[in-house]
Structure 1
Amino acid sequence: MSENITVAGVSVDTRHWIGGRRVASTSTFTDHSPIDGSALGEIARGGPAEAEAAVAAARDAFPGWAATSRAERARILHAIADGVEKRIEELAIVETTDNGALLRSHRRGVMPRVAHNFRFFADWLLGLGHEDFDTRGHTNHVSWDPAGPCVLITPWNAPLMLATWKVAPALAAGDTVVLKPAEWSPLTASLLADIAAEAGLPAGVLNVVQGYGSEIGDALTSHPDVRRISFTGSVPTARRIAGSAAANLTPLSLELGGKSPLLVFADADLDLAVDLAVEQYDNAGQVCLAATRLLVEEPVAEEFTRRFVEKATALRQGDPREESTDIGPNIHPRQLEKIDGFVRRALAQGARAVIGGHRNEGQYYAPTLLTDVAQDAEIVQEEVFGPVLTLQTFTGEDEAVRLANDTRFGLAATVATGDRERAERVTARLVAGTVWVNCFFVRDLQAPFGGSRQSGVGREGGTWSFDFYCDLKNTVTAPKGWNQDHG
């Protein structure tokens, strides 16, 4: 296989990165661009042998990295951030070509956030601590000790940003990493390996292996030398990973799917509420946090729908590399078929497509709004992960909360209301890891992030990330027993 491919003028190595060097595999898989379906290149397809080599490299590198001072770890993480910032344009165009998200978003928001992930956790590490406290004259001292090799499995919808959301705190904590990117969007993870090496990260501290979950993922998650597993993706895959990890009691962090609601009360600013609703089509609906269930109070439902349709039909769908495009393609033909299947079944069961409800040419699905849907319908209960929203109406807070909480998920929720007291009452009753009031997708890395119910296990962000990636230790010291001759 060719060791490098050229994507939009950028050279990308298609081999694994293990122990500080590039490693080929005997087999490959083809990576396609969702923009036009073209083949981007053949990617090294790892299996148990590559998994074993990557975990061994991480295990061997762990003692040295764990012993590295906090200040030096932070310095290297800042150097990685510098490298990302120097290559923002390259990273942006490669990721847009690979996963179809908007180039303008990658340039202005996503790739700068990648650099910020490293800077934030580098700085948080330097301030990480807990005040000593006294127990009957004894001193308690809490410390965060590096845990060991970590396996990080990341999704295809925001490949590099979500990968570094895990990689940065793991490295800051003193752990070593085996990163497995999604097979539908592997390219920027390979570039990250180059950037980390150029920044001076020691060999074996970050390893990147590519391939299918059934071939290399299972070998990674069941490995007895792995001390932490973090996964972002679907509930069925999470169950499989949890089963693999169970034999070794390997701690898990799982950020899974969602079926989040947007509650629009009659006292809300309707223009704001409509803007929030249309924003849910971002990244062609391929956002786990997306509020795909629009719940609108009956007195304003007709007017809300009219304004929504006006704004949503003005969105431009097309080539994500063009500045004027609002919605790009969906990631893969299989995902497109899944989205269309959800919609076709909903329509057959009596739902009405106010807008959309069909494929467009290529891997593009029309922004869709479905009404006349029952609460127990598949389209209301299951995550579609495409540009498909449903609209239901409610009367009063009790019904709004009941509908909002009536799924197996609990990742996020959004509330639009002009009444502060109502916002406080409603948000207190919602089952969700994150609730936004009159806003959406405002995220701070120091805040806890994760889901309730089947939307996930655990929280990451700020100290919560270090709590996961470290072994917490409490050292209790008695006031007596010291040999005075030795001070």
Structure 2
Amino acid sequence: VNGDHWIGGERVSSPTTFDDHSPIDGALIAQIARGTATEADAAVTAAANAFPAWAATPRAERARLLHAIADGVEARLNDLAIVETTDNGALLRSHLRGVMPRVAHNFRFFADWLLKLGHEDFDTRGHTNHVSWDPAGVCALITPWNAPLMLATWKIAPALAAGNTVVLKPAEWTPLTASLLADITAAAGLPAGVFNVVQGYGAEAGAALVADPRVRRISFTGSVPTARHIAAAAAANLTPLSLELGGKSPLLVFADADLDLAADLAVEQYDNAGQVCLAGTRLLVEESVAADFTARFVKRAAALKQGDPREADTDLGPNIHPVHLERVDGFVQRALADGAQALIGGGPNTDLGGLYYRPTLITDAAADSEIVNEEVFGPVLTLQTFTGDDQAVAMANATRFGLAATVVTGSAERAERISAQLVAGTVWVNCFFVRDLQAPFGGSRQSGVGREGGTWSFDFYCDLKNTVSAPWAK
């Protein structure tokens, strides 16, 4: 994989590089060009120069090129999956079966949605109103390391479909598939400068990118503290931004629930070694069934196999980076020191060494404790009990976040009533992680700003215009 930037249709190096290590075994897998304000400026310049022609490109041609990119993704699906697993440690089988096919689908979906995007004209006292979606300009997209290519293309595809040009700054811990995507877009015939990739650290390349007044849209997925810096930079230029941030989502299990289903859904929260923003990390269980639920959960969790994510029977791979593993373990050790209990797990997997952390369930933690309120972003869940619907809702909403929630119940009436009261961008009832690209996606409170998906994506990546015409003389 080429570790240089992709700017204006060419590979561009930097005077310095940084090392990219695999979380699987710590091996050095690439040296990556370390971008600064210089490369960010060059990429925005290339994108700005390419914008007029790309914005004027007919919708059908833009859609054709997005489908060609999807074809390229599918042709290199195995390569992309292997590189992504090596770079971020997520399961190879997940990348092969779901994640990389979803990358291709991201491009196809927004290409097709573009062709049907529209609003019926409407009348005002004999005048005709016509709504249109105009390309906004250069988009700065800053993406995370937990699902690098899938989450990047969730932004890239609608931005390009809308007629914008893009500068992508991938996470420095997982830059490799962004580089491969640059090759795929070039092979598909995307004009030079329409898609650019700048590698580097957030404080260097990212900060310069979001502060550039030529950037007309910023989309970021990541942490709340970083989002504050980005929002401050965007404010100086009044640049519209979309933020998908952290979560501390509840998974509510009511006494009338199918407890086997509830336990299965709860164990699923360990997916990707717990490095999922949507994960329901706070298990809230009705007191009368808590012991029964917990026994089923512990049995299922014990059956999880932790190990090399390239092996087909592995369920949990490593965490992403030594710094992150230390952060995850810090949360757990502070909770235990404060009197909480680890019903399972409670520390790194010493049998495997490296960055493998045992799936952990924390009980007896106080409602105001750090472990209950802060996003850990590792394979760590907490268990609390409630005694009625009102308390369940109060506990679920007792967080500054509001990204998602999961409700497990045998009552359709309760599901509807509880879901209506939850503060969350997405609520799943008796299921988890079912996502459709035409649905709005985003977070409430400090879990984000704005919604993307379907027409909502085009509303963000475009300047909406209403043209009002007086009646023409006969």
Q: Which moved more, 1:259-268 or 1:33-42?
A: 33-42
Q: Distance in 1 between matches of 2:234 and 2:59?
A: 29
**1:233 and 2:227 matched:** no
Letter in 2 for 1:172: A
Mark the runs of 5 or more structure 2 residues left unpaired by the alignment.
none
The Cα shift of 1:93 comes to 0.2
The Cα shift of 1:121 comes to 0.1
Matching residue of 1:136: 125
SS at match of 2:432: coil
Q: Distance in 2 between matches of 1:191 and 1:69?
A: 27
SS at match of 2:215: coil
Matching residue of 1:46: 35
Q: Which moved more, 1:443-452 or 1:39-48?
A: 39-48
Matching residue of 1:199: 188
**1:470 and 2:430 matched:** no
Matching residue of 2:403: 411
Matching residue of 1:208: 197
- What does residue range 112-127 of structure 1 map to in structure 2 within 5 Å? 112-127=101-116
Matching residue of 1:323: 312
Q: Deviations over 1:78-128 (max 9, x none)?
A: 000000000110000000000000000000000000000000000000000
Counterpart selection for 1:429 from 421, 427, 436: 421
Letter in 2 for 1:256: L
Matching residue of 2:8: 19
Q: Distance in 2 between matches of 1:26 and 1:425?
A: 58
Letter in 1 for 2:308: D
Letter in 2 for 1:479: P
TM-score (norm 1): 0.96
SS at match of 1:201: coil
Q: Deviations over 1:276-312 (max 9, x none)?
A: 0000000000000000000000110001000100000
Matching residue of 1:459: 451
Q: Distance in 1 between matches of 2:365 and 2:38?
A: 49
- What does residue range 293-332 of structure 1 map to in structure 2 within 5 Å? 293-332=282-321
Q: Distance in 2 between matches of 1:80 and 1:139?
A: 38
Mark the runs of 5 or more structure 1 residues left unpaired by the alignment.
1-11
SS at match of 2:237: coil
TM-score (norm 2): 0.99
Letter in 1 for 2:53: G
Q: Distance in 1 between matches of 2:146 and 2:450?
A: 21
Matching residue of 2:177: 188
The Cα shift of 1:374 comes to 1.1
Q: Deviations over 1:131-175 (max 9, x none)?
A: 000000000000000000000000000000000000000000000
Counterpart selection for 1:256 from 245, 257, 275: 245
Letter in 1 for 2:12: V
Matching residue of 2:332: 343
Q: Deviations over 1:183-235 (max 9, x none)?
A: 00000000000000000100000000100000111100000100000000000
Q: Distance in 2 between matches of 1:462 and 1:76?
A: 19
State how many pairs are aligned: 471
Q: Distance in 2 between matches of 1:191 and 1:456?
A: 29
The Cα shift of 1:41 comes to 1.8
Matching residue of 2:386: 394
Matching residue of 1:362: 354
Please provide the CA RMSD for this pair. Answer: 0.6
Q: Deviations over 1:218-273 (max 9, x none)?
A: 10000010000000000000000001111100000000000000000000000000
Matching residue of 1:439: 431
- What does residue range 91-170 of structure 1 map to in structure 2 within 5 Å? 91-170=80-159
Matching residue of 1:381: 373
Matching residue of 2:47: 58
